[in-house]
Amino acid sequence: MKSAILVFPGINRERDMARALRLVSGRQPAMVWHAETSLPEGTDLVVVPGGFSYGDYLRCGAIAARAPVMDAVRAFASRGGLVLGVCNGFQILCESGLLPGILMRNARLKFICHDVHLRVERSDTPFTRGYNAGQVIRVPVAHGEGNYAADEETVRRLEGEGRVLYRYCSPSGEIGDTHNINGAAQSIAGIINERGNVLGMMPHPENHVEDVMGCTDGRGLFAGLVAHLERAA
């Protein structure tokens, strides 16, 4: 799997992401500066990592979403290329129009930084094939604006089309207000686009990939992508 990680000023999770990708795929990802107008030849996966691009000025992800490299990412996605956005990356994908909706300030206004449980809603996508449907995984979150919001029609479509891949839940997989850490619509933690090749999620799977991290539940996402691409090849 040949991956490319976008780098914007203020991003700070790109090295965690690179380490996770190298560990699971065995290949060193390319780091692509925001001012670039193309992606490296043969890129299989583009990752928009977490952090605070442009200091979260204006709206989280708003300025990064208009960077030159994003036109290349849009073209890549429209050809069916795989795009993964984590945390600020999810915000950037929403602001760029690659995913619907927006991430609002957390309902209880606090920056949330701890492990959460996620229910994997289906396993038949490139981003979840490393898991079983209904499986509960534990990964960290670290965000102040992760409260997914969209108009009712959009949320209905996401649900109807099975585009919610990850949802905040209890350790045993129950969904409800007490487990919905940031107030997101339908406890949404991660969604895909209509075509199914772009995923945005608030939690950080890249931070749970090695034993030293205390948990390896995040590995499945990357391993699933590798398996998907190997099968497609």
Identify the residue among 35, 80, 151, 170 touching other proteins (CB under 8 A). 151
Question: Considering the complex, what minimum distance in angstroms separates the CB of residue 16 from other proteins?
Answer: 28
Residue 174 known to be catalytic: no
Catalytic residue of the set 87, 117, 143, 169: 87
Residue with tokens 């209890």, as numbered in its chain: 170
**Separation CA 206–CA 197 (nearest Å):** 19
Residue 34 known to be catalytic: no
Residues 95 to 134 in contact with other proteins, rule: CB under 8 A: 95, 100-102, 104-109
Asked if 156 is part of the footprint of other proteins (rule: CB under 8 A), the reply reads no
Asked if 22 is part of the footprint of other proteins (rule: CB under 8 A), the reply reads no
Residue 87 known to be catalytic: yes
DSSP annotation string for 64-104 = GGGSTHHHHHHHHHHTT-EEEEETHHHHHHHHTTSSSSEEE
Question: Considering the complex, what minimum distance in angstroms separates the CB of residue 151 from other proteins?
Answer: 7
Contact (Cβ atoms closer than 8 angstroms) between residue 70 and residue 96: yes
Burial of 105 from C-beta contacts in 10 A (0-12 / 13-18 / 19+): middle
Q: Measured from the CB atom, is 83 or 94 closer to other proteins?
A: 94
Half-sphere exposure of 99 (CA within 13 A, CB side): 33
Contact (Cβ atoms closer than 8 angstroms) between residue 132 and residue 91: no
Strand partners, 48: 85
Asked if 59 is part of the footprint of other proteins (rule: CB under 8 A), the reply reads yes
> Residues in the site for other proteins, rule: CB under 8 A?
58-59, 62-63, 66, 95, 100-102, 104-109, 147, 149-151, 183
**Active site (catalytic) residues:** 87, 204, 206
